[in-house]
């Protein structure tokens, strides 16, 4: 693999799921750092809002192999596989289609993204997967999501060994509940399932976090920024947990 600009210079960065939440915050931070940023997602309007005309925007379904290939018309120094979705439902009620869809967007999408990235990634490149504390423990009503996120860590740890000799690293960030639209959906799901008010539902969701609050996007961005930095060159195959001590 050829040497690129690398972590110390102006980097080419790809962030999937860059139209909202953590992906938006990550992309905007790389842009503020002076990097050339491409964001991908399903909704072009959300991508363009994130971009503000300063990032390349690609409408892509990361579960579609051909669509993922189309993102890689150039080599990237940093690839953040952030796209994902969560669905809460007990296993006994879960349709196979929902399980398969959850695995496809949260695990298969990471595999496709990283596989294509490696076709032309410069030495010193960074692969960063947005995993979850659900990668490290189970949870009632989270079987499909947790299974997929556990798979992401298996992929990251294995891929880290494969790419190590090229100077590329592959790591995962594992946040707890982050204050995003996805977390809001989880709150509403708990409210509906347990017939409780919003305040009670939010307290339940953060009850395992010793700090008793949701994590901010900026706190997750800091973890991504570190793993993409030159200082993290010997951190490989690692799950960086951002959970206030929950894990």
Contact 152, 237 (CB under 8 A): no
User: Who contacts 94 (Cβ-Cβ below 8 Å, separation ≥6)?
Assistant: 143, 144
Q: How many CA atoms lie within 13 A of 140 on its CB side?
A: 6
- Concerning whether 145 is annotated as a catalytic residue, the answer is yes
Nearest to 171 by CA among 206, 210, 126, 104: 126
Strands (E), the chain: 12-16, 36-41, 56-59, 78-81, 126-130, 169-175, 239-242
Q: How many CA atoms lie within 13 A of 123 on its CB side?
A: 6
Q: Take residue 46 and report the two structure tokens written for it.
A: 């959300």
Dump the DSSP string for 40-63: EES-HHHHHHHHTTSSEEEE--TT
Candidate list 99, 114, 145, 177, residue with the active-site label: 145
How many whole angstroms separate alpha carbon 214 and alpha carbon 159? 30
Q: CA–CA distance from 191 to each of 66, 114, 181, 204 (Å)?
A: 39, 36, 15, 10
Active-site positions read 145
């Amino acid at each position: 693999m050829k040497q690129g600009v690398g972590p110390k210079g102006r980097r080419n960065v790809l962030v999937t799921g860059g139209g909202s939440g953590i992906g938006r915050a990550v992309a905007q931070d790389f842009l503020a750092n002076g990097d050339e940023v491409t964001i991908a997602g399903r909704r072009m309007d959300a991508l363009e809002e994130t971009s503000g005309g300063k990032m390349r925007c690609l409408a892509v379904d990361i579960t579609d192999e051909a669509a993922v290939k189309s993102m890689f018309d150039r080599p990237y120094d940093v690839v953040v596989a952030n796209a994902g979705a969560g669905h809460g439902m007990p296993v006994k009620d879960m349709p196979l289609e929902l399980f398969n869809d959850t695995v496809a967007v949260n695990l298969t999408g990471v595999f496709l993204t990283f596989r294509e990235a490696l076709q032309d990634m410069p030495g010193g490149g960074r692969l960063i997967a947005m995993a979850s504390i659900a990668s490290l423990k189970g949870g009632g009503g989270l079987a499909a999501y947790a299974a997929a996120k556990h798979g992401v860590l298996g992929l990251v740890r294995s891929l880290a060994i494969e790419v190590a000799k090229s100077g590329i690293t592959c790591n995962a960030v594992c946040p707890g509940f982050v204050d995003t639209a996805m977390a809001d959906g989880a709150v509403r799901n708990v409210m509906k399932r347990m017939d409780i008010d919003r305040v009670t539902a939010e307290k339940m969701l953060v009850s395992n976090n010793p700090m008793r609050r949701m994590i901010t996007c900026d706190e997750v961005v800091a973890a991504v920024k570190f793993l993409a930095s030159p200082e993290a060159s010997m951190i490989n195959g690692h799950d960086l947990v951002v959970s206030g001590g929950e894990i």
